[in-house]
């Protein structure tokens, strides 16, 4: 699972995000003082889309990722869809970010590749870390993914003026910690 993916990255001398390096040290995949390059975010797909139709409004350049998350407060009819090769490590293909106009919260949606048998654990983890009434998690037998929707506002370190790129990092760290908890419970 997570350990195998990080071990492969380490074996191939690829760069690591700080959370991945911390994990690699904890799992004794590398020494604490190992010289590892810091991984940089790259987003080959950055699309602003209409919520109502999911039609792509515009494919954005990487500079759009420096916009504040509050952009979606002003553009509540849009959502952002991003893909990154870094998401492969956490079993996510892409992440959507939007303003939930009913609850007035910034939310992130993603499909997570975790077995259905982790249902109770996953839901307990989400309830404990984002609030029991503020998330949704449904398993799709069709594609074998968990469709998860969590409020970005509930993640530690979030503020509405943070750059979208930093919000993606926050989400990545949250999902990484979730997978680490599942792995520890296994």
pLDDT, position 104: 81
pTM: 0.93
pLDDT, position 49: 96
Q: Which stretches of the chain are assigned E, i.e. beta strand?
A: 45-50, 56-59, 78-83, 92-100, 105-112, 136-140, 145-151
Q: Structural domains in the chain?
A: 1-40 (no CATH), 42-185 (3.30.1460)
pLDDT, position 55: 95
Give rounded-to-5 percent helix, strand, coil for the chain: 40, 25, 35
DSSP codes, 133-149:
TS-EEEEETTTTEEEEE
pLDDT tens, the chain, 186 aa long = 789 999 999 988 889 999 999 999 999 998 888 888 899 999 999 999 999 999 999 999 999 999 999 999 999 999 999 999 999 999 999 999 999 877 788 999 999 999 999 999 999 999 999 986 688 999 998 888 999 999 998 898 999 899 999 999 999 999 999 999 999 987
Q: Cα separation of 61 and 120, whole Å? A: 39
């Amino acid at each position: 699972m997570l350990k195998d993916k990080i071990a492969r990255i380490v074996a191939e001398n690829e760069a690591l995000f700080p959370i991945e390096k911390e994990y690699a040290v904890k799992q004794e995949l590398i020494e604490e003082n190992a010289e590892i390059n810091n991984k940089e975010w790259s987003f080959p797909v950055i699309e602003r889309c209409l919520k109502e139709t999911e039609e792509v409004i515009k494919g954005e350049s990487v500079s759009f990722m420096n916009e504040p998350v509050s952009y979606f407060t002003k553009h509540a009819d849009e959502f952002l869809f991003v893909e990154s090769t870094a998401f492969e490590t956490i079993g996510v293909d892409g992440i959507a970010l939007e303003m939930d106009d009913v609850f007035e919260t910034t939310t992130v949606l993603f499909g997570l590749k975790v077995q259905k048998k982790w249902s109770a654990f996953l839901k307990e983890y989400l309830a404990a870390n984002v609030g029991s009434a503020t998330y949704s998690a449904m398993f799709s037998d069709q594609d074998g993914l968990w469709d998860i929707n969590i409020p970005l506002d509930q993640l530690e370190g979030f503020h509405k003026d943070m750059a979208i790129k930093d919000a993606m990092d926050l989400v990545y760290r949250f999902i990484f910690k979730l997978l680490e908890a599942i792995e520890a419970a296994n």
